[in-house]
Structure 1
Amino acid sequence: MAGRQLTLKNCKYVLVDKANMLENVDVLIEGDTIVEVGKGLGGGDELDCRNCVVMPGLANAHTHAAMWIFRGLFDREELPQWLSAVERAEEKLTPEIVELASKAAIMEMLSSGTTLFVDMYLYPEATAKASSELGIRAAMGPVINDKVVEEGRAEKLVTDLLGAAPPNVTTIINVHTTYTASEEALKTAAKLSQKMGLNLQLHVSETRQEVYKIKKEKGVFPVEYINKLGALTNRTLLVHMGWVTSWELSLVKKAGATVVHCPASNMKLATGGFLPLVEMLNSGMNVALGTDGAASNNSLDMFREMKTAVLLHRNSYWRTDIGAPEVFEMATLGGYRALGLKGGRVAKGYLADLALLDAASPRLRPLRRSNVLSNLVYSACGCDVYATIVGGHIAYIRNEEFKEKISEIAEQLEQIDF
């Protein structure tokens, strides 16, 4: 898409993807797309990046943005009790509160290098509005549940959001999980996904209780169940997947679905289980990374999530099969690929969704070509991000004005007592 130009000049390092690195180059952006990466480029506005590491923007492939307002609450609860506590607190939420809480979460994500997030929550139109105002790329949609299906509102909810969504927001279809939605609700969501060509996101095999319940009631395991209902396709995002069988993995692989790993949230909520990440990646599955909501993580920092994922699986496998390259791809390309978006690489023809890190940060030093990726995954944090670019526009740059704005929003939300 032609349009205004922006040139990132003299980038100290450009991490193209998990395997390719460039030094002292320029990145030329036109409209929302990278048009060239190389030396001696120029055009439009220029941003001096001589002290920056430029990398693909991070894709938070599963979160509940507005749950930012619940951060630090219910920390001692295991998942079933935690869900009950959250549901009681949600009775106080309105579209206005969700919009404001979404803004706080989006600003946190932008300030830590996230350029895309996939959301599942109440009042998606409010979160879409916040996303549009702040310039982040996002995917969200209505939650299809029994009440919505019984009232015949499922398709209208999707089409209404689809028609109103700004260009930076992709409409998807959400189902909470296999045990809170009826068979009819799951079938309805699957049919809408196929009919409208939209992604379908749902929590699957998050706990042992869920797996046993579905197996007892339906005679099959959760992934088999959603496959039987037509909900397992190459547009499906399967979130959590900590309690899966090897034959379920073969179904996921055959369908071309994406698995979204949320390691910090799963461990905090004591869900147990084990996502077989090495086997998934070795089979060629697309695996993305997500923080889940700030109520269950409690951070929205994808740098922390990358490190958590590596450490969890190295400790669990007693091997080093999972390292910085694998989780970096999950946190960038994996999320974009799940939505069919051409992002997650710093290369010609890709979306200009980028994170610029301060190369002078002590957490990135010593900084050498050989350790850039390692430092980003094992040592960096979101606070090292200097600027975040989404669709060719600078959506975040480190300054006092940004800090003051998020502080004002937080102060308003802190007046609400849960």
Structure 2
Amino acid sequence: MVDRMGREKACLITGTCIEGRPVEILIDETGTIAAIDEKISGSERSNAEVIIDGSGTLAMHTLANTHTHAAMSLLRGYADDMILQDWLGQKIWPLEACLTGEDVYWGTRLACIEMIRSGTTAFNDMYFFMEEAARAVDHAGIKAQLCYGFIDLNDHDKREHEIRATEALVTSIKGMQNPRIKPAVGPHAVYTVSPEGLAWLAAYSASEQIGIHVHLSETEQEVLDAQKNSGKRPPAILDQAGCLTDRTIAAHCCWLDQADCRLLAERGTTVSHNPASNMKLSVNRAMPYPWLVEAGVPVTLGTDGCASNNNLDLFEEMKIAALLQKFAQNNPTCLPAEEALSMATVTGTRALGFGSGLLVVGEPADIMLIDRMVPCNTPLHHQTSNMVYACNGGAVKTVLCNGRVVMQDGVIPGEEEVLNNASRAAADLVRRAADQAE
């Protein structure tokens, strides 16, 4: 926790439970979990300058959202129920052409508020004006891996521009020296980035030892076009360029075949499952979860952007993921609640490099306190089942990130200012796009 002068302060959470066991949690001044016990000893207890009453709550590790376009929160509800290419060409791309850095700042701040409210404290983001996104994350107090969406469309001059933008972002984020914010490279997809661009991104990410965030095999058309143009499927194209690594997070992956899954496993690549967005945009196939698990691919959860989801609630995403896989596989045992929760906590947190995703001593204090006395948690036969199938983000009461309280008892400092400025930014963006279209 941090006091009004910005000093780190040790913190004690009392009265909460972990998996039905009453506990107290001590967090030291570095934001690390120092002790978890039924009763923290007097000597350790005396180190805590701040006490958080967790009575009537369940303590859990916070969630990690591995695929977002956070600033697209400004586009929430702007264009729904449309064919994918029409949605992009007629609505999303014209609006994005009018984006400013201020739009991205307030859109990302809005996204951070929404994620905090639903227990997410780490996310993986690809968009534009990402220096402003980094500033927003810094102010919000949570964690993110950020990349510039690299799109060169096989154009040499545009590729040089995208290279400079990528380098500038990485330099900017590293210069912040904020351990909560990491840079990555962001090849948009095999159909928007040239082989030369992919190869440069792979080499640059290796030299900088940073992550790679890419859209992969989202639609059947993407796969068919790749095979027609290169004779290879999208994962093979990325692999040839060096973009499939153990630092890579590939989003969507709905149209993988079994050989694709084995290739991802061999390279140590992580997949981000985005069921709500993919269902809403009708990509016509569920991500092949059983094949990925069988091959040994780490699978995480993402929401995608608010223009195609339309929220950032990973509790909701856990349920949709589990239900979609059961339906698609005609198997009610596919993707059980425990695996869905692990995707959103352990696997996602580890994929982003922000810890183990577990509430254990020595790990960052990324903690959410969930209200026990709400209908979705009554009765509480199986906590994990309730978290995945019954609750949504509204059950979250208090959230800590690296030991800092970013929401307490439902209150986020500065939330009203963010909502007002994000609303203004969204209205101004739509107005500018309409003026440009005339």
1:219 to partner: Cα distance: 0.7
Once residues 400 and 230 of structure 1 are traced to their aligned partners in structure 2, the CA distance between those partners, rounded to angstroms, is 42
Match in the other structure for 1:399: 411
Matches within 5 A, 1:54-69: 54-69=59-74
Query: Which of 377, 395, 402 is residue 384 of structure 1 equivalent to?
Result: 395
Match in the other structure for 2:436: none
Query: Which of 343, 361, 364 is residue 348 of structure 1 equivalent to?
Result: 361
Match in the other structure for 2:378: 365
The reply to whether residue 137 of structure 1 matches residue 147 of structure 2 is: no
Structure 2, unpaired ranges of 5+: 1-6, 431-438
Match in the other structure for 2:240: 228
Once residues 361 and 402 of structure 1 are traced to their aligned partners in structure 2, the CA distance between those partners, rounded to angstroms, is 26
User: Aligned residues, how many?
Assistant: 408
Once residues 313 and 209 of structure 1 are traced to their aligned partners in structure 2, the CA distance between those partners, rounded to angstroms, is 22
Q: In terms of mean alpha carbon deviation, does 200-209 or 320-329 score higher?
A: 320-329
Match in the other structure for 2:292: 280
The reply to whether residue 32 of structure 1 matches residue 44 of structure 2 is: no
Residues 187 and 198 of structure 2 are in contact (CA less than 8 Å); yes or no, is this contact kept in structure 1?
yes
Residues 61 and 367 of structure 2 are in contact (CA less than 8 Å); yes or no, is this contact kept in structure 1?
yes
1:401 to partner: Cα distance: 5.9
Q: In terms of mean alpha carbon deviation, does 358-367 or 161-170 score higher?
A: 161-170
Tell me, what secondary structure is at the counterpart of 1:172? strand
Residues 165 and 171 of structure 1 are in contact (CA less than 8 Å); yes or no, is this contact kept in structure 2?
no
Match in the other structure for 1:310: 322
1:266 to partner: Cα distance: 0.3
Evaluate the alpha carbon distance shift between residue 375 and residue 33 of structure 1 in structure 2; reply closer, same or farther with a 3 A threshold.
same
Match in the other structure for 1:214: 226
1:59 to partner: Cα distance: 0.4
Q: In terms of mean alpha carbon deviation, does 196-205 or 333-342 score higher?
A: 333-342
Query: Which of 122, 136, 159 is residue 149 of structure 1 equivalent to?
Result: 159
Match in the other structure for 1:102: 108
Residues 128 and 165 of structure 1 are in contact (CA less than 8 Å); yes or no, is this contact kept in structure 2?
no
Query: Which of 10, 15, 19 is residue 15 of structure 2 equivalent to?
Result: 10
Identity percentage of aligned residues? 34
Match in the other structure for 2:201: 189
The reply to whether residue 89 of structure 1 matches residue 95 of structure 2 is: yes
Once residues 315 and 92 of structure 1 are traced to their aligned partners in structure 2, the CA distance between those partners, rounded to angstroms, is 40
Once residues 357 and 390 of structure 2 are traced to their aligned partners in structure 1, the CA distance between those partners, rounded to angstroms, is 21
Matches within 5 A, 1:249-328: 249-319=261-331, 320-328=333-341
1:37 to partner: Cα distance: 1.3
Query: Which of 216, 219, 242 is residue 204 of structure 1 equivalent to?
Result: 216
1:276 to partner: Cα distance: 1.3
Once residues 162 and 148 of structure 1 are traced to their aligned partners in structure 2, the CA distance between those partners, rounded to angstroms, is 24
TM-score (norm 1): 0.93
Match in the other structure for 1:17: none
Residues 257 and 286 of structure 1 are in contact (CA less than 8 Å); yes or no, is this contact kept in structure 2?
yes
User: What amino acid does structure 2 have at the position aligned with 1:330?
Assistant: M
1:402 to partner: Cα distance: 5.6
Evaluate the alpha carbon distance shift between residue 158 and residue 411 of structure 1 in structure 2; reply closer, same or farther with a 3 A threshold.
closer
Evaluate the alpha carbon distance shift between residue 7 and residue 283 of structure 1 in structure 2; reply closer, same or farther with a 3 A threshold.
farther
Once residues 248 and 104 of structure 2 are traced to their aligned partners in structure 1, the CA distance between those partners, rounded to angstroms, is 26
Query: Which of 172, 181, 197 is residue 169 of structure 1 equivalent to?
Result: 181
Once residues 262 and 218 of structure 1 are traced to their aligned partners in structure 2, the CA distance between those partners, rounded to angstroms, is 27
1:343 to partner: Cα distance: 3.6
1:40 to partner: Cα distance: 1.5
The reply to whether residue 243 of structure 1 matches residue 249 of structure 2 is: no
Match in the other structure for 2:434: none
Once residues 372 and 351 of structure 1 are traced to their aligned partners in structure 2, the CA distance between those partners, rounded to angstroms, is 23
Once residues 194 and 58 of structure 1 are traced to their aligned partners in structure 2, the CA distance between those partners, rounded to angstroms, is 27
Once residues 48 and 376 of structure 1 are traced to their aligned partners in structure 2, the CA distance between those partners, rounded to angstroms, is 21
1:414 to partner: Cα distance: 4.6
Could you give the per-residue CA deviations for residues 117-161 of structure 1, whole angstroms, max 9, x where no partner exists?
110001111111011011011110223332553245243442233
TM-score (norm 2): 0.89
C-alpha RMSD of the superposition: 1.8
Tell me, what secondary structure is at the counterpart of 1:220? coil
User: What amino acid does structure 2 have at the position aligned with 1:130?
Assistant: A
Structure 1, unpaired ranges of 5+: 15-20
Match in the other structure for 2:342: 329
Once residues 222 and 411 of structure 1 are traced to their aligned partners in structure 2, the CA distance between those partners, rounded to angstroms, is 38
Residues 141 and 161 of structure 1 are in contact (CA less than 8 Å); yes or no, is this contact kept in structure 2?
no
